[in-house]
Structure 1
Amino acid sequence: MDIRILLVGQNEVVRRGIEAMLHSIANVRDVLSCTGHDEAEGVLDAHRPDVLVANLADDPGLAPLLERARRGHTKILLVMRDPGEAELSAAAQLPGDGYLVEDELTVPVLEDTLHRLLVDQVPMPSAMARQLLHRAGRAEAAAPPPRREYRSRLTRRELQALSLLVEGMSNKQIARGLAISDHAVKRVMASMLVKLNCANRTQAVALALKGGLAGAGTR
């Protein structure tokens, strides 16, 4: 599959470095480079890219662009400078399908991340995954998770899908696990995110860990 990518970042050195890496990946057909969200909105509408790559630290006004990309079914890959508490909190408030850290960027990492993104997995650096688990653990220690409240919002099928999502499964894998169609999984996921008030799958996983929902749909 040939991939068209929209790359957004104000830091020219970082943006050009990522652009050069993207051009070296065999199935990347086109890289459209923009310095900010205002310029990128027009490019997004005109070219309908498969993936939007945005540098989280560069542009505090990304949210409308990312929401627009999500509505157009463009996958969103957020690049973070430091997967610490501040950027993790910022990322959790934005729609995102995958995550990378600037210092860990190499061509093989970028190529693998794009592949996983396009098969509905949620690629993220191990440091970010550890931070999410650490946050969930702190929150659980501070107060008992409102598990009953969350469970009452979701159907049994949505709880089952959430449990498989926590295990790191893609939509296709969840469809096989639940013996339903890919389209049905997308409907279940969309409904689940709305009910949990989560902007993306990463938030849903963090909430499931915090609320003790992992595995709840199997019992």
Structure 2
Amino acid sequence: MTDDVLKVRVLLVDDHALVRAGLSALLDAHPQITVVGEASDGEQAVELAQNADPDVVLMDLSMPGMDGVTATRKLLALRPEIQVLVLTSFSDRNRVRDALAAGAIGYLLKDSDPQDVVSGVLAAAKQGSPIDPRVARTLLTEGTVGPPPPLSPRETDVLRLVAKGMANKQIGRALGISERTVKVHLGNVFRRIGVQDRTSAALWAKENLQS
């Protein structure tokens, strides 16, 4: 994404209309961001994401009906190229881990500085992982060291083929998906297993995935 040419398309998901209105005004005021839709619950978010074509979904967690974790999981199963950024009031360890395990790329709190929310959206659009420092501190102090969140079946398929030395284009052909989608899956895999490159991912796969 070229910052000076393309705008980041954002879908807002929150059950409070006042919150959505404030976020919409904040984000639309930035020259590189445009709000393309608003949803009041998880089910509506999944539906709107298919038509609004957002780059980033700003997702609340606690909503009536389908919650944000379930919505994140369902949305990314349909549109894995979308980046889900959580914006919620809760920073307890279990909620954070559940959201990240569902595929969220970052986690911000609603009492954050407005500019931090804007920066978080821009970072998420570039596949960065904006995490509120208080959330990071909670993860560290409560000890989250352990196995990484489980990979989705498609992420596992991609990782197995990486371990065989296949390039992204070859992986795309083998799985019937686009090269861009392969890159998105790889980015998610790297974050989940804590590596930075294909070689490390391949080694991890050989040690941790059953053949």
Question: After superposition, where does 1:81-92 map in structure 2 within 5 Å?
Answer: 81-92=89-100
Q: Percent same amino acid among aligned pairs? A: 18
Cα-to-partner distance string for 1:165-218 (whole Å, 9 max, x where unaligned):
xxxxxxxxxxxxxxxxx998656555x47xxxxxxx3x545xx9xxxx9xx98x
- What is the CA-CA distance between 1:5 and the residue it aligns to? 1.2
- CA contact 1:78–1:96 (8 Å) conserved in 2: yes
1:103 aligns with 2:135: no
| AA at the equivalent of 1:123 | P
Distance in 1 separating the partners of 2:182 and 2:41 = 36
More helix by share: 1
Partner of 2:124: 117
- CA contact 2:93–2:139 (8 Å) conserved in 1: no
- CA contact 1:79–1:100 (8 Å) conserved in 2: yes
Query: Paired residues, what number?
Result: 164
Distance in 2 separating the partners of 1:12 and 1:204 = 37
1:62 aligns with 2:68: yes
Distance in 2 separating the partners of 1:41 and 1:188 = 23
- CA contact 1:23–1:31 (8 Å) conserved in 2: no
Q: State the TM-score, normalized to the length of structure 2.
A: 0.62
Unaligned runs of 5+ in 1: 140-144, 147-153, 159-181, 194-200
Q: State the TM-score, normalized to the length of structure 1.
A: 0.60
Partner of 1:134: 141
Cα-to-partner distance string for 1:137-158 (whole Å, 9 max, x where unaligned):
7x6xxxxx68xxxxxxx99x98
Q: Residue 103 of structure 1: SS of its match in structure 2?
A: coil
Distance in 1 separating the partners of 2:38 and 2:90 = 22
- CA contact 1:82–1:101 (8 Å) conserved in 2: yes
- What is the CA-CA distance between 1:88 and the residue it aligns to? 2.5
- CA contact 1:5–1:30 (8 Å) conserved in 2: yes
| AA at the equivalent of 1:37 | G
1:51 aligns with 2:56: yes
CA RMSD of aligned residues (A): 3.4
Cα-to-partner distance string for 1:82-108 (whole Å, 9 max, x where unaligned):
3123532442442201111001141x2
Distance in 1 separating the partners of 2:72 and 2:181 = 23
- Which of the pair has the greater relative contact order for Cα pairs under 8 Å at 6+ separation? 1
Cα-to-partner distance string for 1:57-80 (whole Å, 9 max, x where unaligned):
235533443234324111101012
Partner of 2:209: none
| AA at the equivalent of 2:42 | H
